[in-house]
Amino acid sequence: MAWDVTVPDTYAELHIDQTAREACSAANKAAANKTVKYDVLSASHIFLPVAVETAGTWNQSAIELIQEIGRRITAVTEDTRETVFLF
């Protein structure tokens, strides 16, 4: 598995028009760009783009990754709060 974390600025001039209209748009755009950039990895790795905007919005694959890590930790520790702690 490979991942690449990107933190786009929600309020940057480049993103503000779109982020004012649609939550998570900067994170989704950054994640899409990373997916294209690392497309060649998909043949040999599971690639998950992780994008978290400066305002705190996460793209969907980032949420899914943290939830999966939380599930696995919970399976070992039996503490159902593990995913909450990760967020």
Question: Which H or E element spans position 50?
Answer: strand 47-51
pLDDT at 4: 73
Provide the whole-model pTM.
0.79
CA distance 30 to 49: 8
> At 14, phi and psi to the nearest 5?
-60, -35
- The predicted-structure confidence for 35-73, as pLDDT tens digits, reads as follows 999 899 888 988 888 999 999 999 998 999 888 988 999
Q: Determine the pLDDT at residue 80.
A: 82
Distance, in Å, from the CA atom of 52 to the CA atom of 64, rounded to the nearest integer, reads 13
Could you state, in order of their start, the residue ranges of all structural domains in the chain? 2-86
